[in-house]
Amino acid sequence: MFKVLLARLQQKHRTIAYPKKEPVLPDRFRGLPILDNSQCLKNCQECVSVCPTNAIQCTEKGLQIDLGRCLFCTECTSVCPKGAIQFSTEYRLATRTRQDLVFDGKVFERAKILKDSIHKLFGRSLKLRQVSAAGCNACEADINVLGTPGFDLGRFGIQIVASPRHADGIVVTGPVSENMKLAVEKTYKAVANPKVVIAVGSCAISGGPFLDHKEVHNGITDLFPVDLFIPGCPPHPMTILDGFLRLMGRLKQ
């Protein structure tokens, strides 16, 4: 017992200071893209052609990246001759609507609080049932790590529960394969109304690298109304936590 207590004292406080302090992310972290249309060459389609999920478009107004499709693979940055596309370390990527994920390099509309009627029920605590709908376990792992002492998701009143009947909503990862479609639908129906639906990762939002495959349903956006979109492949735990807190009205900036 004394050895355990001594080890705990030596480890000191392991929970991050977020949201009181901003997280320190490595330089190699791939967050919100930086688009410089002034550097974009006329009729150059290099970034468009190399994107594995067709997330990039060159419009009359300039470049657009669909973060719901983007894998953050940086193939576009490697082929761009002028560096018109770069990735920043901005981790706050969650949005309330699918359209807000289509980014043109200007103002990015971050997720906002639930509407008042639902927020009164879920503003202080939120119980979520996580469903892996044919995910690769990357998004699932980053959700699981939020329960460790480093992030301590429970201190915000948020908990991943074992049954949809104990949940206020569902968190879906994966592209929703044909085999998992019924399971996801049953889980959704088992959650009492009102409920929230959160899509985590590019697979759950758009199908990710499995986009338009005959055995997947391109995520959950056509199956249920989604309240929160958290892009990434996989999204960083800080991106997921930031989205959860914004949905509950815990973050304003």
pLDDT in tens, 152-198: 999 999 999 999 999 999 999 999 999 999 999 999 999 999 999 99
Q: What residue segments make up the domains of the chain, in order of their start?
A: 116-247
Q: Which pLDDT belongs to residue 123? A: 66
Residue 206 burial by Cβ neighbours in a 10 Å radius (0-12, 13-18, 19+): buried
Q: In whole angstroms, give the CA distance from residue 41 to residue 47.
A: 11
116-247: what CATH class? alpha beta
User: pLDDT-derived band of residue 114, with 50, 70 and 90 as boundaries?
Assistant: confident
Helix%, strand%, coil% for the chain, nearest 5: 30, 15, 50
Give 25-55 pLDDT, tens digit per residue.
999 999 999 999 888 877 888 999 999 999 9
Per the DSSP assignment, residues forming a β-bridge with 228 are: 198
Contacts of 71 (CB under 8 A, 6+ apart): 52, 53, 55, 202, 208, 209, 233
Q: At 96, list the tokens.
A: 């309330």
